[in-house]
Chain A
C-alpha cells in the first residue's frame, strides 16, 4: 500500500513535470528542432529571443496590461465588496450575482461579446480593449476574495474607527484596506497571473500591438523551434521566481 502510493506519486510527478522538463532541456538544443536527439547545449536561442523586438515589445505590453487591469479590478472589487459587506442594500444578492457572473462564462464568449460591442461603437482592437476585457474577468475574482475576507472582525474594527470620528474615506484607507492587505495581495497576484497568461481575449481584441501569449501563438505557426522553447522557458523562469519571492516575502508572515 505504502509502496504503491510512492509509485503513484512518482508517476504523477513525472506526468506533470515531463512537458516542462522537455521544454526547458530542448531550449538549449544546438540544432534546428527541439526534439531528440539532444545535439549539445547552446544559448543562441535565448540570444535570439532577447534580440527579437516583437517579443520584447509583447512582453512589455503583457506586463503593462496585467498590472493596470489588475489594479483597476482590485480597486473596483474592493469598493464593491466593502459596500456590499457594510451596508444592507435592497437587491444585494442580485448585485453579488451580477458581479460574480463573468466567472462562470467562457473567456471566448466574453471576448466575442466585447469584440462585437467595440466594433459597433467604432472602437478598434487595442491593448486598451484587451485591458477592459481583463478587468471583466478579474473583477469577480477580486470581489469574491475580498468579500469573503470581510468578516465580523473587520466590521467591528470599522465601526470602532467611525465611532472615534474617522470619515468614511479614512475608514477605508486607514482601517479596511490595511486589514485586508493579505487577501488584497493575493487577489492582485492572481489577477496579474490570469491577465498575463490570457490568450483568447487578447487574441481577438488586439491587432498591431499584441500581448505575449498572442506573439507566442504567431511563433507557433512556423512549427517546432527551440526559440519557442526558449521563450517558454524564460516565462517559466520569471514566473517561478516571482512565485518563490512572494512565497518567501509576502505569504510567509501569514502562516
Chain B
C-alpha cells in the first residue's frame, strides 16, 4: 500500500460518518420530498405518481399565490428595514464607542437572543397588543389606540427586532476588520465624513451587508413562528400554508411541493446576490 492510498483511506474514514449522516438524514429526505411533491392524494392516502398537479395548483390557486406574495413582500420589507436600522447601530458601536466597551455594547445589543425564540415573538404581543404597553403609553398622552397586533405590521416588527440583532453583529464584524487607515487615507486626501462613508466604508462593507441580508431573507422567508404568533391569521405566509397542509388535511404531497417552491425562491435569491456573497466569511 503506498503512502498516498493509505492517506486517502484514512481521509475517507474520517469524512465518511459525517457524509453518511448528511446523506441519510438530509439528502435522502430532501430527494424523497421532491419525489413526494409529484404524488397525488386520493381518499386521504398518498398515491405515488409523476403528476405536476400540485405545482399547477400552487401557481393557479389565488390563496397559494397570495401566500407566496405575502411571504416575498414581508421578507423583502423586513430585510430592507433591518439593514437600514442595523447599519447605523453597528457603525456607532464600531466607531463611536471606546474599544474596551464595544464587547459589552454588542452583548447588550443581542441580549434578547438569549430568551426563547417562541417567547420573543410572544413578548411583542405584550407590547403591541390592544391593551399592550404601547397603546397604554400612547393613551397616557391622548393618542391611539393603534391596531398593530394581529397584523402584518406586528409580523414585520417581530422579524425586524430579531434581524436587527443578527445584522448588527455581522455588519459590526465587517466594519471592525477594516483597517482604520482606509478612512484615514480618504480623510487625508480631502474627503469629508459623508464622502469617506460613501466612497470607502460602504463599498468595502457591501459584501458583508449583502451576505447578512441574504441570511435575513432565507431565515425570514422560512419562519413559521413569527407570522403565526404576531400576524393574527389575517394573511398567510408560505410556511403557515405548509403547516396548514400538514395539520388540517395531511396533504404531504402539496406541502412538499410548497416546500420545493420555497427552496426555489431561496435559490433565486442566492443567484440574485451571488456576486457579493461570502458565505464562507459570515
Chains A and B share a contact (CB less than 8 Å) = yes
**A80 contact from B14, B32, B115, B165, Cβ within 8 A:** B14
- Distance between B27 CB and nearest chain A CB, rounded to angstroms: 7
Q: Do A217 and B118 touch across chains, with their CB atoms under 8 A apart?
A: yes
B147 on the A face (CB < 8 A): no
CB contact under 8 A between A112 and B33, given known A76-B21, A95-B19: yes
B227 on the A face (CB < 8 A): no
Residues of A close to B262: CB separation below 8 A: 106, 108-109
A5–B18 alpha-carbon span in the complex (Å): 47
Q: Do A113 and B266 touch across chains, with their CB atoms under 8 A apart?
A: no
**B126 contact from A107, A224, A231, Cβ within 8 A:** A224
A66 on the B face (CB < 8 A): no
A217–B122 alpha-carbon span in the complex (Å): 9
**A8 contact from B88, B126, B193, Cβ within 8 A:** B88
Residues of A close to B17: CB separation below 8 A: 76, 79-80
A113–B24 alpha-carbon span in the complex (Å): 11
* Secondary structure class of chain B's binding surface, majority of residues: helix
CB contact under 8 A between A77 and B18, given known A19-B123, A109-B259, A232-B122: yes
A and B contact pairs by CB, cutoff 8 A, 14 listed: A16-B109, A22-B126, A35-B136, A79-B14, A80-B19, A89-B12, A101-B27, A106-B221, A113-B32, A136-B21, A213-B117, A213-B118, A216-B118, A239-B115
* B interface with A by C-beta (< 8 Å): 7-8, 10-15, 17-19, 21-23, 25-30, 32-33, 36, 85, 88-89, 92-93, 96, 107-109, 111-112, 114-120, 122-127, 129, 131-133, 136, 161, 164-165, 193, 218-219, 221-222, 224-225, 229, 239, 242-243, 246, 252, 255-256, 259, 262-263, 266, 270, 279-280
Extra inter-chain contacts (5) besides given A87-B14, A235-B115, CB under 8 Å: A23-B122, A35-B136, A139-B22, A228-B122, A232-B116
